[in-house]
Amino acid sequence: MNLKQLSDMLALSQTTVSRALNGYPEVSEETRRRVADAAKRHGYRPNPSARRLATGKAGMIGYVLPTGKSVDIDPHFVEFLSGLGDYARGHDLDLVLSPADANDEETTYRRIVANKQVDAVYVSSPRPADRRISLLNRLGIPFIVHGRSEGLDFEYAHTDIDNEAAFRDAARLLIQLGHTRIALINGDMRQTFAIFRERGARRALADSGLSLPASAIRSVAMTDENGYRAARSLLEGADAPTAIICSSLIMSLGVVRAIRDLGLTIPRDVSLVAHDDVFPWLRPENFSVPLTTTRSSIRLAGQRIAERLAARISGQETGAWGEVWPVDLVVRASIGSVPT
């Protein structure tokens, strides 16, 4: 069933039917009702390819997926997707993932924009001075960044969490408990979130006259194994920390294991705070010692970003503004006063 058939059936022109369906004013109410009725009854659905060709609007939001033999997609992605999908579903938006060589994402961004395959794009895991953001900005397609870049000479739309404040608060709490040797097991420093987190921890320490030496920092891909190694090397080194702040729950698995392997106890010997992105399948309260966390649902972020993307597509949202969400600090049993 296409427009022509439908309009023939109604003895109306395609123009009128199209307008009636799309809510244009130059159609009488009665006609509109008749058309809407017939459309529903016959299950008419405009062919999206045709519509796209005619209008340039795609009804899809795009994401460039870095791939490659040694490229691992972040498991957080799936939670984000849950949120995004949840919103998109109610708004007739599909999501198209365009796989790209992780070393050359630009070509793919250019392609999806040039082809008008999508109406808007979102970017995740931004890096400092992220070239993808500059590119999208130049290309003039609506986009939202999940997170923030740094050192860009223009504004752009983003939704982020306050990583700096989160880790500042976490460190501050540990300091209040008497800890002075605090270590940070962070994600890859090429990502801005990791930079912000380190900055937050560092500032809290500085505020109390303490420092965060390079020797107290590990910055690695967020896997269980790396968490283990990092914790182990920290705790076995000179000036072993009495408290550790860890950037992810997955790494914390390894951290907890390392602490135990060394015959230490949480929180008696080591206090631990981790960042929790809220996975349904791994909860900080279920760790052998429930973990104190800085918590922010990445799923909610997905929903919010879908919402903003939709608003941008329909022109309801404009301007290059960002929003930064506060992060909860949830205290559980994994922290305690400094061992004497």
Partner DNA sequence: AGCGGGCTCCAAAGCGCTTTGGCTGTTTTC
Partner DNA sequence: GAAAACAGCCAAAGCGCTTTGGAGCCCGCT
Out of 9, 47, 107, 268, the residue judged to bind DNA by CB under 7 A:
47
Q: Residue 13: which of a copy of itself, DNA, none does it interact with, CB under 5 to 8 A by kind?
A: DNA
Q: Which helix (H) or strand (E) holds 246?
A: strand 243-246
Q: Residue 254: which of DNA, a copy of itself, none does it interact with, CB under 5 to 8 A by kind?
A: a copy of itself
Q: Quote the least distance from Cβ 260 to a copy of itself, whole Å.
A: 7
By beta-carbon proximity to a copy of itself, the closer residue of 189 and 282 is 282
Q: Residue 220: which of DNA, a copy of itself, none does it interact with, CB under 5 to 8 A by kind?
A: none
Contact between 77 and a copy of itself (CB under 8 A)?
A: yes
Q: Quote the least distance from Cβ 14 to a copy of itself, whole Å.
A: 16
Tell me the two tokens of residue 183: 């270590």
CB 291 within 8 A of CB 252: yes
Contact between 265 and a copy of itself (CB under 8 A)?
A: no
| CA dist., res. 295 & res. 38, Å (int) | 51
**DSSP secondary structure, 262-279, as one string:** TT--TTTT-EEEEEE--B
Out of 14, 82, 233, 337, the residue judged to bind DNA by CB under 7 A:
14
- Please classify residue 183 by burial: count the beta carbons closer than 10 Å to its beta carbon, then call 0-12 exposed, 13-18 middle and 19+ buried: buried
Contact between 211 and DNA (CB under 7 A)?
A: no
Which are the contacts of 249, defined by CB distance < 8 A and separation ≥ 6? 274, 275, 276, 277, 279, 282, 284, 291, 293
Contact between 166 and a copy of itself (CB under 8 A)?
A: no
Out of 14, 31, 67, 137, the residue judged to bind a copy of itself by CB under 8 A:
67
Estimate the share of the chain in helix, then strand, then coil, as percent rounded to the nearest 5: 45, 20, 40
Out of 50, 206, 320, 331, the residue judged to bind a copy of itself by CB under 8 A:
50
Tell me the two tokens of residue 201: 């921890």
Instruction: Pick the stretch among 43-51, 90-98, 172-180, 260-268 that binds DNA (CB under 7 A).
Output: 43-51
Q: Residue 41: which of a copy of itself, DNA, none does it interact with, CB under 5 to 8 A by kind?
A: none
Pick from 158, 208, 153: nearest CA to 178 = 208
Q: Quote the least distance from Cβ 107 to a copy of itself, whole Å.
A: 11
| CA dist., res. 244 & res. 232, Å (int) | 11
SS3 75: coil
By beta-carbon proximity to a copy of itself, the closer residue of 69 and 319 is 69
Contact between 151 and a copy of itself (CB under 8 A)?
A: no
Q: How far is CA 166 from CA 3, 86, 159, 171, 247, in A?
A: 55, 27, 16, 9, 11
Cα Rg for the chain, rounded, in angstroms? Answer: 25
Per CB under 7 A, residues contacting DNA are 2-4, 11-16, 18-19, 21-22, 26-29, 31, 44-47, 50-51, 53-55
Contact residues for a copy of itself (CB under 8 A)? 45, 47-50, 52-53, 58, 60, 65, 67-69, 71-75, 77-79, 81-82, 84-86, 88-89, 93-101, 111, 114-117, 222-225, 228, 250, 253-254, 257, 260-261, 279-283, 286-288
